Amino acid sequence: MIKAAILGGSGYTGVELMRIIHLHPEVELVWVTSRKHAGKSVTSLFPSLIAYDGLNFIDPSDKAAEQKVDVVFTAVPHQTAMNAVPHYLAAGAKVVDLSADFRIRNQAVYEEWYVKHTAPELLEKAAYGLPEIYESRIKESRLVANPGCYPTSTILPLFPLLKEGLIDSQGIVVDSKSGASGAGRGASVALLFCEVNEAFKAYKVGQHRHTPEIEQELSVAAGNGVTINFTPHLVPMSRGILTTSYSKAKEGVATKDVLERLEHAYKKCPFVKVLPEGSFPNVAHVRGTNFCFIGAFVDERTGRVILVSAIDNLTKGASGQAVQNMNLMFGLDQETGLNSLALFP
């Protein structure tokens, strides 16, 4: 059994990690921290986690959090993560970091969009944890930077097309729509039920921090610098991201070509499902799962490729992908513990 711990377990990604770990046959949760809720039982705060009866949140400074584990999932905000990760690595644990701190390889870019980095020496050691693209690197890594939710949904459909030159690397537009859980569990007027229900808006237009992360990976795929427009929107639902992207098809590229390329790229990837021509994904069909569903259409009137992808932001977009990464880091089948089907409806 792999002994696991969670740093920052009282947010939605922490709760989702516990839900998934409960079904995982090879993992045991040893401790879970929460500064705010230290001393309280997990089930009193989250009755859905009924199987964790007897487990309490502890403060990260608590002695019990020094208990050695094989893997630590750091589900804390950026900056907090970069301060904690070196400690757990030094203690001999592998780390899957769900924050943004080790996703951007270029320190200057990180610091432009976020804050000063205090552990820059780890940037090149960290693997970018998108297993469909970096599987072998993840397997060898002791630190995996779990991708952002928007980047996961955006990179998966675009990467193979850029890599194989089916689309132009310039002029890509990414229009994403996310459920409210992506914004976390902090008390905030803007996230109250009455503010999100029967509402829809764009936010952080032109300024969302997932932009450089997406551009980094699309640039890898294209082999040159890619700059995109990325606009996130808030959907009145709890879970799910749907990303619609628009890019210029190379001459002669038809819908069939795009679908074949995607099929080929992901034929060994159990969590990516390319839908048949004419079908497009719905976030409802991947809810609570680690799947990414992709649909594609080449509009011959305009010469543009429209890609639509759906994930659950808390699962493939966060905690499910973290467990997928952990599976690879420990030599397990990547599907282990992740084979539930979506709750529909």
Residues in region 176-195 near its own copies by CB under 8 A: 177, 179-181, 185-189, 191-195
Minimum separation from the CB atom of position 178 to its own copies (A): 9
Shorter beta-carbon distance to its own copies: residue 136 or 302: 302
Q: Which of 38, 80, 238, 250 binds its own copies (CB under 8 A)?
A: 238
Minimum separation from the CB atom of position 63 to its own copies (A): 28
Contact mark string toward its own copies, 312..331, x via CB under 8 A: --------------------
Active site residue 149: yes
- Using DSSP's 3-state secondary structure scheme, residue 330 falls into coil
| Residue 225 · residue 219 · CB < 8 Å | yes
Does 283 help bind its own copies (rule: CB under 8 A)?
yes
Please tell me the distance from the alpha carbon of residue 125 to that of residue 207, in angstroms, as a whole number: 28
Does 288 help bind its own copies (rule: CB under 8 A)?
yes
- Using DSSP's 3-state secondary structure scheme, residue 334 falls into coil
User: Which amino acid is residue 217, in one-letter code?
Assistant: E
Shorter beta-carbon distance to its own copies: residue 78 or 208: 208
Radius of gyration of the chain (CA): 20
Q: Are strands 143-145 and 94-97 parallel, antiparallel or unpaired?
A: parallel
Q: Kind and range of the H or E element at 110? A: helix 107-113
Structure token digits, residue 179: 């459920």
Shorter beta-carbon distance to its own copies: residue 129 or 240: 240
Q: Which of 39, 92, 223, 236 binds its own copies (CB under 8 A)?
A: 236
Q: Considering only the stretches 91-99, 118-126, 142-150, 298-306, report the one whose residues sit in contact with its own copies under the rule CB under 8 A.
A: 298-306
Largest CA distance in the chain: 64
By residue count, the chain amounts to: 345
- Contact positions with its own copies (CB under 8 A) in 43-82: 46-51
- Using DSSP's 3-state secondary structure scheme, residue 255 falls into helix
Please tell me the distance from the alpha carbon of residue 55 to that of residue 313, in angstroms, as a whole number: 26
How many other CB atoms are found less than 10 A from the CB of residue 199?
A: 10
First-to-last CA distance in the chain?
34
Minimum separation from the CB atom of position 118 to its own copies (A): 27
According to DSSP, residue 161 is labeled H
Q: Which residue has the tokens 């914004």?
A: 183
Minimum separation from the CB atom of position 139 to its own copies (A): 25
Residues facing residue 56 across a β-bridge = 41
Q: Considering only the stretches 58-66, 130-138, 242-250, 322-330, report the one whose residues sit in contact with its own copies under the rule CB under 8 A.
A: 242-250
Does 219 help bind its own copies (rule: CB under 8 A)?
no
Burial class of residue 300, CB neighbours in 10 A (0-12, 13-18, 19+): exposed
Shorter beta-carbon distance to its own copies: residue 89 or 237: 237
Q: Considering only the stretches 55-63, 81-89, 113-121, 297-305, report the one whose residues sit in contact with its own copies under the rule CB under 8 A.
A: 297-305
Shorter beta-carbon distance to its own copies: residue 84 or 310: 310
| Residue 135 · residue 332 · CB < 8 Å | no
Shorter beta-carbon distance to its own copies: residue 65 or 149: 149
How many other CB atoms are found less than 10 A from the CB of residue 246?
A: 17
Shorter beta-carbon distance to its own copies: residue 13 or 99: 13
Minimum separation from the CB atom of position 329 to its own copies (A): 24
User: Which amino acid is residue 187, in one-letter code?
Assistant: A
Minimum separation from the CB atom of position 92 to its own copies (A): 30
Does 106 help bind its own copies (rule: CB under 8 A)?
no
Minimum separation from the CB atom of position 185 to its own copies (A): 6
Q: Which residues are catalytic?
A: 149
